[in-house]
């Protein structure tokens, strides 16, 4: 039973972070119908930012978030202004491969500077601490703090997009680009802003994730795929959709835990034999495929 | 008969194209006669392999406009079929290669049917997903060696072994893949003029119009996907006996899928010469950059950075690839 | 003999009925016009007939067979061809290749398809443009390419969707001659949607009028033009006035576009 509850708790906490990971992707997609393959690499950069500043300054890794956000914002705006702007004029195939090129460049720059080995945080206010909430569930303090901060960031972006004039201009551009331009909204600048927000949120997510996940230059791809799945499930372009879909994907990532629970509780021997942890990510790919077939516009899709 | 005539007929290309193509083929035939390093030979073999991969991708991706980023799974199926057949039952290459192609085609029909209900980005990401699922399965499947993969021990065979395609000297591999390259080129020359080829280009242009012209769009895509798959699978089988050591990571990873798409894309998707030009530029660049900058100067990954930059520049400024530049110049001259 | 029968066709998009209980027949060898204000559901009707999407209810009978559930490719193979209102040819097919795609419906052989396509291009008068990309051509030539491509499937019934839109008077004359040629010389039954009244009223033997998805009138062009319901719903006072003026003076002076 404790395995089951532990998996559920862990799934929810992870899910909240994954929502934040996918947020930027869905904002960008909603605005300009482009899929950013380098999304996971932005996250990787956030992870390194958190790790390296924490190690260099001795500050707690959770305090590095503003720096990560700043770097992410700059990176996003730079990528848009220097590169993506030109991609948007081309056919879809060029957009796909173009951001893939960006991914290769970012990944290998990281490889060049940081080497290929796994790095993890060993110190910090919360690293390694956990507490018992009863019924045998042990929640790691890091994961809880990270989840809370992720939700706060998410709400922050949501407020920015729904309660400020700037955010409303952004949403208007996403709904109707032509119309927004006629209303005097600088749509070019909105695009850049979307990339800035996208970059900032995903690097924050990276700086959070590094608290319980080791980082190497190749870590990006799996997060890109996770983000694609969250966005597909939540509906391409939908911000609230991304939040709920993130929770669902958090649960999907915990499938090995549920599997163990059933195998142990009901003593099913063949289930024990399957190396379920190796298929941790496989379920993500499978669920993307299935979601797209059943409901091509996602569960919360709002844009045709 | 007409099919063969069409495959051999290059007369719709300008004279200069045919001359250059002939010169390249002659150069390829005589290349092993010139003094060359083992490294140059390996690069040439890679070039021919990736030309073929690119030609396969070009059917569905170039002519059909369906951005398929999951071709690596068929490299894997081809390579694993050949290796497993050889190691377990001593089945020669010339039997296991078509067997692998059949398995690949079978698998391509199974996933192609749902896959082609998706369009655009959704399709592209789904192709990645399917490919990665297969890779994950192979990484734990003991029968195929799980994550460590399988190795062919060449000393167990007497070389040259033309049936199993086990050689000590690379020159045999070179001529084998060159033969496949010529067959592939002629097939593509037929394909682009065939009914299916025309239907695909019409689909790429506008699916609604294609439907109104009696084309079963879904089925045409699935058929073409199977053709692309067969190409990739055959080269995958060749990869297995040539490299002799396969693992899921270097046959089925996303990087391989992207590399395959990139050959056609850089050279010019949807043109006969595109994949060959793309492979001709990218493969030597990749090999030598890796050799000089990576191994010699100790800058790990710098080859891939340059590689990524090339991809970025091409996709932002000349999405029709190198051949697109040539065609643009020609068009300007004509007008 | 009726080539096409449409019985009580309804097509709803959500709550909006784009076609509401439309019934009519097209006889073998007829040239039928379909008019109506913007948003009257003309193109939706074409799409239903051509099998682009299934109707919500109703029945479509083509050449004596119920074809209501058939998709566009099957309809094309049974002898129904259509052109598209907005034809974006961004691809790399040239004019000849475009027409060949249509010819490939009946043959697998490239040489046969090519010969057939060249014959059609000669017939339509596009021979000199055959190696140009469609996107390079002026609008009038593009329209003729779409007609040639549709003809390449050797149809029994040809649906033309606004082939004269955006053309100048002399180009409209050419298109009109082209439609007459297809109908009279090639013996193909034609049904056309058109906003250019000059063209519809001149070439059609019979006209059907749609308004808000419903059929409001049907008959010879002259009668329809005088029908008070049609005038009220669609043609408007202005057209009637202009028509009076023009029938007094030179007919070719004006191309009254009722929607403009």
**What is the DSSP track for A19-69?**
HHHHHHHHHHHHHH----TTHHHHHHHHHHHHHHHHHHH---GGGGHHHHH
Closest CA to B96 of B107, B111, B86, B109: B86
Closest CA to A76 of A49, A39, A109, A37: A39
A296 interaction partners in chain B (CB closer than 8 Å) = 118, 122
Contacts with A19 (C-beta within 8 Å, 6 or more apart), sequence order: A150, A151, A154, A230, A242, A243, A244, A245, A246, A247
**Contacts by B250-253 with C-beta closer than 8 Å and gap 24+?**
B251/B72, B251/B75, B251/B76, B251/B79, B251/B80, B252/B72, B252/B73, B252/B75, B252/B76, B252/B131, B252/B132, B252/B134, B252/B135, B252/B138, B253/B72, B253/B135
Quick one: average pLDDT of A8-20?
84
pLDDT at C254 over 60: no
| Interface residue B332 vs chain C (CB under 8 A) | no
> What is the per-residue pLDDT for C243?
55
Per-residue pLDDT reduced to its tens digit, A131-177:
766 666 677 777 787 788 888 888 888 888 888 888 788 777 777 77
pLDDT 10s per residue in chain B (335 long)?
778 888 888 888 888 888 999 999 999 988 888 888 888 899 999 999 999 999 999 999 889 888 888 899 999 999 999 999 988 888 888 999 999 999 999 999 999 998 898 887 788 888 988 888 888 888 888 787 777 878 777 777 777 777 787 878 888 899 999 999 999 999 999 998 899 999 998 898 888 888 988 899 999 999 999 999 999 999 999 999 898 888 888 888 888 888 888 888 888 888 899 999 999 988 888 888 877 776 666 677 777 788 888 888 888 888 888 888 888 888 787 76
Q: Residue C100: which of B2, B198, B211 has the nearest Cβ? A: B198
Q: How many domains does chain B have?
A: 1
The confidence band for A293, taking pLDDT boundaries of 50, 70 and 90, is confident
Tokens read off for B82: 């050949």
pLDDT at C248 over 50: no
The confidence band for C132, taking pLDDT boundaries of 50, 70 and 90, is confident
The confidence band for C234, taking pLDDT boundaries of 50, 70 and 90, is low
B211 interaction partners in chain C (CB closer than 8 Å) = 52, 71-73, 76
Find the distance separating the first CA and the last CA of chain B, reported in whole Å: 37
pLDDT at C239 over 60: no
B301/A289 CB distance under 8 A: no
The confidence band for C256, taking pLDDT boundaries of 50, 70 and 90, is very low
B129 interaction partners in chain A (CB closer than 8 Å) = 225, 285-286, 288-289
Separation CA A182–CA A144 (nearest Å): 45
User: Judged by CB atoms within 8 Å, which residues 3-32 of B form the interface with C?
Assistant: 6
Separation CA C222–CA A156 (nearest Å): 67
Q: Which residues are paired to C219 by β-bridges?
A: C207
> What is the per-residue pLDDT for B188?
93
Q: What are phi and psi for residue C53, nearest 5 degrees?
A: -145, 155
A104 interaction partners in chain B (CB closer than 8 Å) = 304-305, 307-308, 311
Does the domain at residues A2-117+124-294 carry the CATH identifier 1.10.10?
A: no
Closest residue of B to C152, CA-based?
B213
The confidence band for C252, taking pLDDT boundaries of 50, 70 and 90, is very low
What region does B301 belong to: left with phi over 0, alpha with psi -120 to 50, or beta? Answer: left
Q: Residue A104: which of B69, B269, B304 has the nearest Cβ? A: B304
> What is the per-residue pLDDT for B231?
94
Mean of the per-residue pLDDT values of chain C: 82
> What is the per-residue pLDDT for B105?
95
Residue B19 Cα, gap to closest chain C Cα (Å): 23
Residue intervals of chain C classified under CATH 3.40.50.300 are 2-79+155-253
Subunits that touch chain B (at least 3 Cβ pairs < 8 angstroms)?
Answer: A, C
Cβ count within 10 A of residue A209: 25
Pick the more confident residue, A187 or C25: C25
C101/B201 CB distance under 8 A: yes
Closest residue of A to B120, CA-based?
A92
> What is the per-residue pLDDT for B104?
94
The confidence band for A303, taking pLDDT boundaries of 50, 70 and 90, is very low
Q: Is the ipTM of this complex over 0.85?
A: no
Pick the more confident residue, A62 or C99: C99
Per-residue pLDDT reduced to its tens digit, B299-324:
777 777 888 888 888 888 888 888 88
In a domain, B304, yes or no: no
Burial class (CB in 10 A: 0-12, 13-18, 19+), C164: buried
Q: Which residues are paired to B297 by β-bridges?
A: none
Closest CA to A83 of A31, A26, A38, A46: A38
B199 interaction partners in chain C (CB closer than 8 Å) = 101, 104
A97/B265 CB distance under 8 A: yes
Comparing B297-311, C132-146, C236-250, the range with the smallest average pLDDT is: C236-250
The CATH code that applies to domain C2-79+155-253 is: 3.40.50.300
DSSP annotation of A164 reads S
How big is the CA angle at A241 (ends A240 and A245), to the nearest 5 degrees? Answer: 125
Q: Residue B129: which of A93, A108, A285 has the nearest Cβ? A: A285
B195/C153 CB distance under 8 A: no
Cβ atoms C46, C6 nearer than 8 A: no
B209 interaction partners in chain C (CB closer than 8 Å) = 84, 87, 149
Residue B108 Cα, gap to closest chain A Cα (Å): 15
C105/B212 CB distance under 8 A: no
> What is the per-residue pLDDT for B298?
65
A41 interaction partners in chain B (CB closer than 8 Å) = none
Query: Tokens 């046969």 identify what position?
Result: C112
Cβ atoms A101, B309 nearer than 8 A: yes
> What is the per-residue pLDDT for C257?
41
Query: Tokens 């991708």 identify what position?
Result: B57
- Residue C104's Cα: distance from chain center in Å? 22
pLDDT at C16 over 60: yes
B213/C149 CB distance under 8 A: yes
> What is the per-residue pLDDT for C260?
36
DSSP annotation of C94 reads B
Per-residue pLDDT reduced to its tens digit, C29-87:
899 998 888 878 888 888 899 988 888 888 999 988 888 888 899 999 998 998 887 66
Closest CA to B66 of B75, B74, B58: B58
In a domain, B129, yes or no: yes
Cβ atoms A203, A68 nearer than 8 A: yes
Q: What is the dihedral of CA C69, C71, C72, C78, to 10 degrees?
A: -70
Cβ atoms A94, B315 nearer than 8 A: yes
């Amino acid at each position: 039973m404790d395995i089951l509850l532990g998996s559920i708790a862990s799934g929810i906490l992870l899910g909240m972070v994954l929502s934040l990971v996918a947020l930027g992707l869905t904002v960008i997609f909603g605005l300009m119908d482009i899929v950013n393959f380098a999304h996971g690499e932005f996250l990787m950069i956030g992870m390194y930012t958190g790790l390296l500043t924490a190690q260099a300054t001795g500050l707690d890794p959770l305090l590095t978030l503003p720096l990560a956000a700043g770097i992410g914002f700059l990176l996003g705006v730079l990528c848009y202004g220097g590169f993506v702007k030109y991609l948007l004029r081309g056919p879809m195939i060029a957009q796909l491969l173009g951001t893939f090129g960006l991914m290769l460049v970012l990944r290998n720059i990281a490889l060049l500077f940081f080497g290929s080995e796994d790095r993890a945080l060993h110190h910090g206010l919360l690293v390694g601490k956990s507490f018992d909430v009863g019924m045998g569930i042990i929640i790691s303090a890091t994961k809880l703090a990270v989840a809370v901060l992720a939700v706060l960031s998410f709400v922050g972006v949501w407020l920015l997009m729904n309660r400020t004039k700037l955010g409303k201009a952004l949403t208007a551009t996403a709904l109707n680009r032509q119309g927004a331009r006629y209303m005097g909204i600088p749509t070019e600048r909105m695009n850049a802003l979307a990339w800035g927000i996208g970059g900032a949120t995903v690097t924050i997510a990276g700086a959070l994730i590094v608290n319980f996940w080791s980082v190497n230059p190749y870590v990006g791809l799996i997060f890109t795929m996770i983000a694609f799945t969250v966005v597909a499930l939540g509906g391409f372009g939908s911000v609230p959709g991304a939040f709920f879909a993130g929770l669902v994907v958090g649960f999907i990532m915990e499938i090995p835990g549920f599997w163990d629970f059933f195998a142990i509780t009901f003593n099913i021997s063949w289930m024990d034999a399957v190396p379920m942890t190796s298929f941790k990510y496989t379920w993500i790919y499978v669920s993307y495929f299935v979601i797209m077939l059943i409901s091509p516009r996602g569960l919360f899709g709002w844009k045709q | 008969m007409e099919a063969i005539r069409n495959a051999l007929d290059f007369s719709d290309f300008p004279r200069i194209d045919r001359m250059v193509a002939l010169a390249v083929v002659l150069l390829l035939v005589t290349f092993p006669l010139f003094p060359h390093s083992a490294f140059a030979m390996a690069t040439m073999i890679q070039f021919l392999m990736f030309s073929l991969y690119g030609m396969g991708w070009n059917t569905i991706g170039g002519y059909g406009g369906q951005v398929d980023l999951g071709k690596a799974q068929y490299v894997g199926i081809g390579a694993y079929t050949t290796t497993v057949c050889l190691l377990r039952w001593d089945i020669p290459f010339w039997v296991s290669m078509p067997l692998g192609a059949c398995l690949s085609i079978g698998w391509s029909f199974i996933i192609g049917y749902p896959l082609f209900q998706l369009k655009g980005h959704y399709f592209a990401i789904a192709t990645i997903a399917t490919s990665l699922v297969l890779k994950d399965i192979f990484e734990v499947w003991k029968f195929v060696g799980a994550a460590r993969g399988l190795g062919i021990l060449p000393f167990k065979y007497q070389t040259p072994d033309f049936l199993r395609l086990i050689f000590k000297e690379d020159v045999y591999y070179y001529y084998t893949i060159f033969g496949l390259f010529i067959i592939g080129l002629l097939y593509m020359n037929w394909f682009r003029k065939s009914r299916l080829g025309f239907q695909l280009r019409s689909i790429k242009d506008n699916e609604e119009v294609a439907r109104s012209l009696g084309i079963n769009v879904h089925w045409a895509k699935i058929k073409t996907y199977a053709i692309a798959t067969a190409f990739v699978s055959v080269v995958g089988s060749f990869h297995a006996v040539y490299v002799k050591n396969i693992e899921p990571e270097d046959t089925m990873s996303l990087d391989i899928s992207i590399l395959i798409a990139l050959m056609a894309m850089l050279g010019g998707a949807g043109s006969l010469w595109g994949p060959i030009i793309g492979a001709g530029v990218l493969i030597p660049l990749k090999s030598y950059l890796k050799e000089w900058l990576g191994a010699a100067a100790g800058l790990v990954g710098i080859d891939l950075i340059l590689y990524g930059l090339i991809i970025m520049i091409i996709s932002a400024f000349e999405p029709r690839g190198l051949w697109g530049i040539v065609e643009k110049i020609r068009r300007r001259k004509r007008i | 003999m009726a080539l096409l029968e449409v019985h009580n066709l309804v097509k709803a998009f959500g709550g909006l009925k784009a076609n509401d209980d439309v019934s009519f027949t097209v006889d073998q060898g007829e040239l039928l016009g379909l008019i109506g204000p913007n948003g009257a559901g003309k193109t939706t009707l074409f799409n239903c007939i051509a099998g682009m999407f299934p109707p919500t209810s109703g029945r479509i009978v083509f050449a004596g067979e119920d074809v209501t559930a058939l998709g566009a490719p099957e309809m094309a193979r049974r002898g129904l061809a259509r052109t598209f209102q907005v034809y974006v040819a961004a691809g790399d097919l040239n004019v000849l290749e475009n027409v060949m795609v249509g010819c490939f419906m009946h043959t697998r052989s490239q040489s046969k398809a090519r010969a057939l396509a060249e014959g059609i291009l000669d017939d339509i008068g596009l021979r000199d443009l055959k190696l140009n990309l469609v996107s390079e051509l002026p609008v009038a030539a593009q329209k003729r390419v779409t007609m040639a491509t549709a003809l390449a499937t050797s149809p029994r019934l040809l649906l033309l969707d606004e082939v004269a839109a955006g053309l100048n008077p002399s180009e409209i004359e050419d298109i009109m001659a082209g439609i007459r040629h297809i109908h009279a010389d090639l013996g193909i039954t034609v049904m056309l949607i058109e906003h250019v009244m000059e063209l519809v009223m001149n070439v059609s033997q019979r006209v059907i009028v749609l308004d808000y998805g419903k059929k409001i009138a049907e008959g010879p062009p002259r009668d329809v033009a005088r029908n008070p319901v049609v005038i009220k719903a669609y043609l408007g006072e202005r057209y009637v006035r202009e028509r009076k003026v023009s029938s007094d003076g030179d007919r070719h002076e004006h191309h009254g576009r009722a929607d403009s």
